[in-house]
Chains A and B, each alone.
Chain A
């Protein structure tokens, strides 16, 4: 697919080159502006949004190599594709341009057919990259996307100290049976929007959604100071939002929803699991299992939020806690002290 009508910047100190390149690209349907040296080109790139830069190497004031270096150091300019147009001879120059981040290299005089092909291919690659970034953001959370951008994607994990939260809707199966499919999806969408809001506003990361349940991590992939308190605050926010949501549902003569939340803190292994083709950021380990068990245990206790003693110990006096005594969970050799969080 040819990308027509893109905004291109031509940087060349030679007027004949500038005019000819601009003309050729305009004939291909692009909007073209030009700069007579590297300094002007950088100013224009920073001031306006360009889709691609055609860059000459030998220019006064700031040459093409310096422009590439500046662009690489600038997060806003780093992703703008650069096609180098130069009559510099020798592969060393080409190699250096590519090392500095140029997408492609065209020798002058530039062949118009090649120019069109390279520009379109670079624009298409940029379009794909933009789409991928948007996709990663949609499916992975901003924190994970950022983590992947800075440290790259690698399967495998590391040991972290974090707080994990599990939450789900009580009696959801019955609710599904009594409601139309459209109502169920609408309910889930609203519910998730509210829960995401409460969790991300407190620094957590929602990393899994399964049916009506979700898993959130506080303190990974990025460290979070007082992750336990953040999780507790998120839990209270979630309860409050559910209450507001229920008031709305009551007006529509719909049954209220109830949620259960389990929180556990401790050591866990965090990282990307899956295959090279499909992977997810998650945390695994005893602490994670415990959070899931605590969430399930809310059904028996009548409390909405349960947590382990390790989480409670780090909350301080800011929260109302009710010790429920030790509970023997399935798969655990020793009983776990369980505490309920009061609203």
Chain B
């Protein structure tokens, strides 16, 4: 299984180790369902210039991506949380693209881990 740069392999393996590979499949699927909603909240907050809501949504994404070892996504979310709302939606779009790719990679990795034992 080739290493995906989107995910820190060590962190993900540890998660599988402590929570169980089957459970991680379930957890990744949950993230796949929840993350688009959080992203939508992030976009809505940006449109409405609601700084606190924006920070909270970024905070949630940061927290979840760190759990899975999705280092790149976590870093982008963290920067949005701490720096605050960008003037243009560029950084939010970049995060959305990273999120989509990360979820695909996570699902692939989780199923490989569960199937391969």
Contacts and interface: CB of A to CB of B under 8 A. Distances in A.
A257 B34 CA distance: 77
Contacts of B31: 16
B67 A20 contact: yes
A16 B64 contact: yes
A19 B34 CA distance: 12
Interface in A87-142: 87-89, 108-109, 112
Interface string B61-77: 01110110000000000
A174 B82 CA distance: 83
Given A14-B64, A16-B67, A24-B19, A87 B27 contact: no
A109 B66 contact: yes
Contacts of A109: 63, 66-67
Nearest to B65: A109
Contacts of B30: 15-16, 19
B23 A108 contact: no
B40 interface: no
B108 to A, nearest CB: 18
A89 B62 CA distance: 12
Contacts of A58: 56, 59-60
A15 B30 CA distance: 7
B32 to A, nearest CB: 10
A339 B63 CA distance: 78
Contact of A23 (B23, B34, B64): B23
A27 interface: yes
B26 interface: yes
A17 interface: yes
Contact of A87 (B18, B26, B34, B62): B62
A19 B29 CA distance: 12
Nearest to B28: A16
A112 B18 CA distance: 7
A143 B31 CA distance: 53
A263 B27 CA distance: 72
A322 B81 CA distance: 84
Given A14-B34, A14-B64, A20 B27 contact: yes
A239 B34 CA distance: 73
A290 to B, nearest CB: 70
Interface in B15-65: 18-20, 23, 26-27, 30-31, 34, 56, 59-60, 62-64
A318 B20 CA distance: 76
Interface string A199-219: 000000000000000000000
Given A19-B26, A108-B66, A14 B60 contact: yes
B19 A27 contact: yes
B19 A14 contact: no
Interface string A24-51: 1001000000000000000000000000
A19 B27 CA distance: 7
Contacts of B20: 23, 27
A20 B25 CA distance: 12
B66 to A, nearest CB: 5
A14 B27 contact: no
Given A20-B27, A112-B18, A15 B56 contact: no
Contacts of B64: 14, 16-17
A87 B82 contact: no
Contacts of A88: 59
A17 B23 contact: no
A108 B63 CA distance: 6
Interface of A: 13-17, 19-20, 23-24, 27, 58, 87-89, 108-109, 112
18 contacts: A13-B60, A14-B64, A15-B34, A16-B30, A16-B31, A17-B64, A19-B26, A19-B27, A19-B30, A20-B19, A20-B27, A23-B23, A23-B27, A27-B19, A89-B82, A108-B66, A108-B67, A109-B63
Considering the complex of A and B, which 4 residue pairs feature the smallest CB-CB distances, nearest first? A109-B67, A87-B63, A112-B18, A109-B66
